[in-house]
Structure formats: C-alpha cells, structure tokens
Amino acid sequence: MEYNELRKKYPVFYYHDYEITESNEEIQIVFDFEIKGLSHFNPQLILPKPKDQESCLNLEVFRRTAFSLGMVELVSYWKIACPPHVEVRCASLDEEQIRWWKKLYFHGLGEFFYINKITPDPDTFMDLFSSGSPITGKKDTRKYQGNLIPVGGGKDSLVSLDLLSPYRKDNHAFIINCIRSALNSSEAAGYTGDRRIIVQRTLDPRMLEFNRQGYLNGHTPFSALAAFVSLLTAIVWRKEYICLSNEASANESTVKDSTVNHQYSKTFEFEQDFIKYVHAYLTDQIHYFSLLRPLSELQIMAIFSRLPQYHKVFRSCNVGQKEGVWCGHCAKCLFVAVMLGAFMDNAQITEIFGRDILNDEEMMPLFEQLTGIRDDKPFECVGTREEVNYAVCMAIRRAGNTIPVLYQAYKESAYYEFYKDRIYDFTMFNEENLVPEEYQKIIRQRLKEL
C-alpha cells in the first residue's frame, strides 16, 4: 500500500494507556495503541520479579519507564500506516522529549523508509504531542548494584560475559523471549536459574495480520526497545549497570554516503542520547553503556576465538536463532565466517556452520557487499567494510595455497591490493565510550593478551 494514501486515510495514532498488573512472580504491562479507523493494538510485556521483592509499581521511576517503553513500542504499530498525527494520552511530554522521540523514530526507521522508498522530512513526518497528565509516584530510595548483561546468543554477549566474569556474583544475564541461541549461550556461561532473567515480549497478532494484507512493514529500532526493557528490568532487579555488547563498528552507515544505518539504535550516538534521556527524565541511579564500544569487530573476534568453550553454542544468525541453528546462507552467517577466518582454519569454520560457506560461489554477491566491492552493506548487524577487508587478507595469509573460492576472486580486486600488506593494530582502544574506568582496565588487559 502507498505511504501518502495511508496517511490520508488514517491520519491519527493514539497512545491511550499502559496497564500494569502484578502477581507474586511477575509484572505484566499491556499497552493500548490505536490507529483511528483501523484497529486497536495491545502488545504486552511480562517481567519476572526477584523472590520476596517489595512491589515497585508505585515508584515514579517504574511508572515513567513503563510509559517510556510504550513510547518505543508504539513505532512498530505506527509504521503500519504512518499516521501524521500521534497523540499521547497517558502522560505529558515536554518539547525536549518530543524532539528526542522524533529523532529516534526518524533515524531508527531509516531502513524502513529506505526500503519502502519513502523520503520523509524529519520535522513533518510526524506531529507528536501529548494530552495526558504528568506521571507521579513514590521516590525511589533503594540501592542499586551489580551488572545486567543482555544476551542475544552471538559472540558479542559471550565476550561480555567472559570479560565480566570477575563480577559473576553480582551479574545477571538478561534475555528477551526464549530464544534458543540466547538460552544455550547463557547456560554455557553458567547463568541459569535465578541468575538469568527472561522477559517475555508479545506482539499484537493484529499487526502481523495487517502486514500480511500489504500494509507498510519493515525494520524498527529493536535495540532501542531492548534498551527500555533492560532499564525496566534493572529497576525491578535493582541493577546499577546495564552492560550492552555493541561495538564501535555499529556506527558505520549501511547505505554508503547516507545516514541510513540498520544498527542506528546500537550506535554510540544513540547510546549517548539514551543515557541523557534516562538521567534527565527517569533515574540517575542506573548507568547504561556498551562494554564492547572500545573494540572493533575484529578485536572482539580475536578475543572470542580464544574462548573455545563457546564455539559450539553461539549463534549470530537471525534466520536460525529461534531454533538455535545457523542457516548458512545469510549475510550474517557469511560475515561471522569471514571474521572467524582471520583466526581459524576453514575446516574449523565449516565444522561450526555445518557447511563450507567460504567455498560457496552463490554467496559472492553478499561477500562483495561486505567488502565494499558493492557500495551498500547488507541490512544486517555486520562490521565495517574496512574490518572485513582486513579479516579477508589475514585469512588469505593463513590459508597458504588452499584459498577459499570467495577469496580467490577477491585477490583480483583493488581491495586486496590495498589491504594485503597492512597490519591490523589489535591494541587500538576507541575512547568514544561510556564504559566505567574499572571495566576499561579489564578490556585493556585483554587486548594486551592478544
């Protein structure tokens, strides 16, 4: 369906309410959104509570954060028809908050707009306003300590768990939905039972039905949603640090010479924006940061290659993550195989994936996207073009006379001539980060060991 026609037919989106209920074991939040004239939508979140925990539902910080979670959740439903007017009826927003949310929506939907050939104006694509009352409640006087570590099942969160192992007694692994790869990874790292917090997020099936009918669909800033879910979880479980696993590479745009970035809500820009928002409007007792921000994908893989206990359980493939398998055909699988190739033999890589990806000629178009031979990167969470080229050249040097098919063609390119004799500096430390000093020391020491 066509963007402008949908906006004319469905001009108003409402964020009506967020209903919170509590039992002895969990907290449930049900949101009420509406595209006027089309449908209501009621996604929900179920968050487990610590044993013998006092209720925090009356705390102002909890209620404000639950509302804020709805603000990021709503964009998944707004995108169905992209109504130009969005009215928030269950709280009040000041002008700075409105600017903050519109920036997140605009850049977080960059891929959605690009894929759907929509060229919106950042100021007028949405008129966001509020008509509700300020959210009030009791002040939070509780103490916070320890680390909440989001786990997705890939190499990055496993490296974070390993780096923070000295703090194990104060760590909790955090998972959104029962993704098999995340469950397997957290178990392999020793986080089970009450050391692992699993939050259940449920989409409204009506949204999925409208997608099937041909209404607008596409990528939304999931990592921004995960940020607010992790913050709400940290409030309930009183965790001082939320330790993400986003690397410096996430800052590079997906579409060359543009601001379109599949990983926008993993960027350092969003990380800074998010913590400023949290401290200004929610709480200053929780610190949100990416532990791996000082590192590149190549450095992270260098560390991960020395953690063989995780090589059989990690899964970075979005296609197969629910079942805990590698699909072996997507851009993410290929990217991980290429990065592993800088440190492992192809036989080892083939054993991990169950197929010889690097000798599959059908993967050539994706390979050329990853290296930069083709301008635009795949719409996946992958590293920079430069990192990929370094990894390929390192693998070629390792391979000797048994170079995989994808790399044989690469050797004829100008990229190979440019990178073949360059040596990667594994001691680099990206200073653009929010990592506490005590954790920076752990990272720097690990880099020395490389």
pLDDT digits (tens, 9 = 90+) for 363-396: 999 999 999 888 788 788 788 899 999 999 999 9
**Does 321 fall in a domain?**
yes
Mean pLDDT within 183-212: 96
Residue 320 reports pLDDT greater than 80: no
247 plus 361 within the same structural domain: no
pLDDT tens per residue across span 343-353: 999 999 999 99
**Does 447 fall in a domain?**
no
240 plus 334 within the same structural domain: no
Coil/strand/helix, residue 189 = coil
Comparison of pLDDT for 9 and 320, the residue scoring more = 9
pLDDT tens per residue across span 401-444: 789 999 998 998 999 999 999 999 999 999 999 999 999 999 99
pLDDT tens per residue across span 8-24: 999 999 999 999 999 99
Residue 169: exposure state from Cβ atoms within 10 A (0-12, 13-18, ≥19)? exposed
> Residue 16: which of 58, 62, 59, 77 has the closest Cα?
77
Phi, psi (5° rounding) for residue 289? -160, 160
Domain that holds residue 411: 317-419
271 plus 410 within the same structural domain: no
CB atoms within 10 A of CB 297: 25
283 plus 322 within the same structural domain: no
| Six-digit token string for 431 | 């200073």
The predicted pLDDT at position 288 comes to: 97
**Does 99 fall in a domain?**
yes
Q: Choose one of 243, 275, 290: the last residue of a domain.
A: 290
pLDDT tens per residue across span 30-39: 999 999 999 9
End-to-end Cα, the chain, rounded Å: 52
- Percentage above 90 pLDDT, the chain: 84
284 plus 321 within the same structural domain: no
Residue 257 reports pLDDT greater than 80: no
Phi, psi (5° rounding) for residue 250? -65, -15
Mean pLDDT within 43-52: 94
> Residue 71: which of 301, 214, 241, 278 has the closest Cα?
278
Q: Choose one of 271, 290, 309: the last residue of a domain.
A: 290
**Does 306 fall in a domain?**
no
Mean pLDDT within 129-155: 96
Could you tell me if 334 and 366 are in contact, meaning their C-beta atoms sit under 8 angstroms apart?
yes
Helix (H) or strand (E) holding 415: helix 414-419
280 plus 150 within the same structural domain: yes
The predicted pLDDT at position 374 comes to: 85
The predicted pLDDT at position 215 comes to: 97
Q: Choose one of 290, 305, 327: the last residue of a domain.
A: 290
Q: 58-89: b or e for each residue (b if 16 or more CB lie within 10 Å)?
A: ebbbbbbbbbbbbbbbbbbbbbbbbbbebbbe
- What CA–CA distance (Å, rounded) separates 389 from 370? 9
The predicted pLDDT at position 401 comes to: 78
Long-range contacts for 34-41 (Cβ within 8 Å, ≥24 apart)?
A: 35/10, 35/77, 35/78, 35/80, 35/81, 35/83, 36/10, 36/11, 36/12, 36/83, 37/9, 37/10, 38/10, 38/80, 38/81, 38/210, 39/206, 39/210, 40/206, 41/77, 41/204, 41/206, 41/207
Identity (one letter) of the amino acid at 364? Answer: M
Residue 133 reports pLDDT greater than 80: yes
pLDDT tens per residue across span 260-304: 888 899 999 999 999 999 999 999 999 999 999 999 999 999 999
Mean pLDDT within 229-256: 91
**How is residue 249 annotated by DSSP?**
G
- The total number of structural domains that make up the chain: 2
87 plus 198 within the same structural domain: yes
Alpha helix stretches (DSSP H) within 191-328: 205-213, 222-237, 268-281, 297-304
Question: What is the residue whose two structure tokens read 């009183």?
Answer: 238
- What CA–CA distance (Å, rounded) separates 329 from 355? 9
pLDDT tens per residue across span 87-127: 999 999 999 999 999 999 999 999 999 999 999 999 999 99
The dihedral through the CA atoms of 50, 53, 55, 61 has a sign that is negative
Residue 171 reports pLDDT greater than 80: yes
174 plus 229 within the same structural domain: yes
**Does 168 fall in a domain?**
yes
**Does 193 fall in a domain?**
yes
The dihedral through the CA atoms of 277, 280, 436, 234 has a sign that is negative
279 plus 362 within the same structural domain: no
| Six-digit token string for 265 | 């809500």
Residues constituting the chain: 450
256 plus 125 within the same structural domain: yes
DSSP-assigned beta bridge partners for residue 40: 34
* pTM score, whole prediction: 0.94
**Does 432 fall in a domain?**
no
**Does 444 fall in a domain?**
no
182 plus 227 within the same structural domain: yes
Say what angle helices 297-304 and 331-340 make with each other, to 10 degrees: 70
Residue 399 reports pLDDT greater than 90: no
Could you tell me if 46 and 28 are in contact, meaning their C-beta atoms sit under 8 angstroms apart?
yes
**How is residue 150 annotated by DSSP?**
E
| Average predicted confidence (pLDDT) for the chain | 94
Confidence band of 60 (pLDDT split at 50, 70, 90)? very high
Residue 214 reports pLDDT greater than 80: yes
Say what angle helices 297-304 and 385-399 make with each other, to 10 degrees: 40
Lowest mean pLDDT across 133-147, 224-238, 361-375:
361-375
The predicted pLDDT at position 322 comes to: 73
The predicted pLDDT at position 21 comes to: 97
The predicted pLDDT at position 318 comes to: 83
272 plus 143 within the same structural domain: yes
